[in-house]
Structure 1
Amino acid sequence: MRQDKPLEARLKAKAAEIGFADCGIARTDAAPAAGARLREWLAEGRHGSMIWMEERAHQRESPASLWPEVRSVIALGMSYAPASDPLALAGEGEVGRISVYAQGGDYHDVIKRRLKELARWLVGVAPGADVKVFVDTAPVMEKPLSEAAGLGWQGKHSNLVSRDHGSWLFLGAIYTTLELAPDEAGRDLCGSCSACQSACPTDAFPAPYRLDARRCISYLTIEHKGPIPLEFRAAMGNRIYGCDDCLAVCPWNKFAASAQANLAFAPRAELTAPGLADLLALDDAGFREVFSGSPIKRIGRDRMVRNCLIAAGNSGSMALIGPVRALLDDPDAVVREAAEWALARLSA
């Protein structure tokens, strides 16, 4: 790589070589409204039981709040655009629907490894620079920062939308003490489109660009630990981990090429259309074996079986009555309640 090129250009070329679909640079103060929006969202209670959002809110408000020495933010995106229609299994009652991002390897591990590789390169070409790498488990406002760095814009579904990659981008960030030239911020191109708002089965968007996590199927199936509120159960259909609906209907996806060349995100056959009967039969050891290396492993067996029981209750399949009935005496109270509900639905 030619050394006479600006560092920013060499950085972006290296990011592409490593496997990132996009790379941009933002000033640390480039998303000044993000902190105020976060405080308002938390005050309204729209984060539900995600107490960790509250506890580290002060660090999320700006990059300098987390690391005072930071001078530039390098925002990175890695595409996970699916090769097939994420909504194709909507009518298949005896199988569960798993969100596209969770059908392959754990993206946290993949992205952090690539971020560290890029950060090592940066320190190697800019001796004296300090860096910190972050994926979405850290208190970092990666979506507004990625918009500020020009990767795209936060769409009406509140996720990042890219002109080139649609709604299918994993995001990561590198904070650095280097003073790098910032890129032009992304421009909102949603226009009058409201496809993502209309697609949401639980009306989780009180207004465009605003998400109430307490109504979101992704939150309910992944973050929420107790019984699923009755008002949302029918709307969940056969979704057992996450929900792709608002992302899948985004018109900008037509420009997104499939990311299956990235083998780390290639869907595992057993996770593309898993049979509910098989999942309902899992004990803890079986769950850990099936979901080894998957982000799904984080929610544990009980929460996954709870989700599968809701899907079974929505299925109308008499073949699932036996597997559901077997869970009426499960050690977990939440699983037992979900089994009672599912059996009542199937027996009605």
Structure 2
Amino acid sequence: MKRKVQARALEEGFVKVGICRPDAVPEAAGRLRAFLDAGRHGQMGWMADREEWRGSAAALWPEARSVIILAEAYTPDGDPLAGLAQRDRGVISVYAQGKDYHDLVKRRLKRLGRWLIEQAGGEIKVFVDTAPVMEKPLAQAAGLGWQGKHTNLLGRDLGNWVFLGAIFTTLELEPDAPEVSHCGTCTACLDICPTRAFPAPYQLDARRCISYLTIEHKGPVDTELRAFMGNRIYGCDDCLAVCPWNKFAVAAREIGYRPKHGLPELAELAALDDAGFRARFAESPIKRIGRDRFVRNVLYAIGNSGLPQLGEAAAVLVEDDDPAVADAARWAVGRLRGEAWTG
């Protein structure tokens, strides 16, 4: 049955599959508690709200006997860091440049899950980054790869450009051997981080992570961090892009992950109202942060651009209804004028 599951998963478009027990990562709960105690989750209160489930896959669904972890590649064709030099344009994380991965991965998981029930019976639950499941430790336990020093999953035959999905099942399936770290002495991912978000290898302080700041953080971003955000307006790929193991990255099979457009112009994005924002990002994961937070990010990028011609796009928003947008607009205008920020 295990061999059949693996073969079927590859047919569905996944690039790698592994199996572990729900209780395969007993140390996960303690690591999560330490992360929360240090306050490194920032405003992500949902991480603490369901801590018991997040810390133990066995607690999430006690009837489950096996967890099937699947990897789907979204490897970019070019260098995602190249856009950082185009200061009049906004850089969006590779994973969000196409269609929403939640929809695409879940569709595949459900098809695979239905097939599994038809073949072997049992019950299933499928998860894609929307439930209290610690997919990365489970993926390491299932042998897909390991959590690198940047805390993301990477593999010797995968690179680190992968989405993870999980199928919990009541079936007893033979588990795979866990993987161990192969990062060695490399610190490329730690060294490149603009905001120094890694207190130590294999540890992340989300409060300083640009992905967290542009996606999860509500309200104004700390002034000391704004300049380091550059023109990153949704997510950050720096630590992923420099990983040497990406020389073995597998190509993305799903055409839906391909970028719909080139790098968008900051002035155009700053002019988006709610309706325009929803229309532009209807099929993208970007839609979930809403217009206000997105335009706030765009204004930080305008302020960091060093291009006075973008000042007008920011100036029209200094009285925006959203306080964080108005604050970002004032900051951007002042920065382009070379004025000291007083808040």
Q: Establish whether TM, by shorter chain, passes 0.5.
A: yes
DSSP 3-state at the match of 2:20: strand
Say whether the 8 Å CA contact 1:81–1:165 is kept in structure 2. no
Percent of paired sites with the same residue:
61
1:93 aligns with 2:87: yes
- 2:260 maps to 268
1:206 aligns with 2:199: yes
**Partner Cα separation in structure 2 for residue 337 and residue 266 of structure 1:** 34
1:24 aligns with 2:14: no
DSSP 3-state at the match of 1:188: coil
Superposition deviation, residue 241 in structure 1: 0.1
**Partner Cα separation in structure 2 for residue 99 and residue 186 of structure 1:** 27
Q: Which amino acid in 2 is paired with 1:264?
A: G
**Partner Cα separation in structure 2 for residue 62 and residue 50 of structure 1:** 19
- 1:153 maps to 146
**Partner Cα separation in structure 2 for residue 300 and residue 193 of structure 1:** 37
5+ long unaligned stretches in structure 1: 1-6
5 Å-filtered alignment, 1:1-348, equals 7-127=1-121, 129-259=122-252, 261-269=253-261, 272-348=262-338
Say whether the 8 Å CA contact 1:288–1:297 is kept in structure 2. yes
Superposition deviation, residue 257 in structure 1: 3.2
Superposition deviation, residue 237 in structure 1: 0.4
Q: Which amino acid in 2 is paired with 1:286?
A: G
Say whether the 8 Å CA contact 2:227–2:304 is kept in structure 1. yes
Q: Which amino acid in 1 is paired with 2:263?
A: A
TM-score normalized with structure 1 length = 0.96
**Partner Cα separation in structure 2 for residue 192 and residue 64 of structure 1:** 34
**Partner Cα separation in structure 1 for residue 18 and residue 130 of structure 2:** 20
Runs of 4+ residues deviating >3 angstroms: none
Say whether the 8 Å CA contact 2:269–2:295 is kept in structure 1. yes
Q: Deviations over 1:97-133 (max 9, x none)?
A: 0000000000000011100000000000012x01000
Superposition deviation, residue 209 in structure 1: 0.2
Say whether the 8 Å CA contact 2:159–2:250 is kept in structure 1. no
5+ long unaligned stretches in structure 2: 339-343
DSSP 3-state at the match of 2:218: coil
Q: Deviations over 1:201-244 (max 9, x none)?
A: 00000000000000000000000011011111110000000000
Larger deviation, residues 114-123 vs 26-35: 26-35
TM-score normalized with structure 2 length = 0.98
How many residue pairs match? The answer is 338
**Partner Cα separation in structure 1 for residue 85 and residue 187 of structure 2:** 24
- 1:4 maps to none
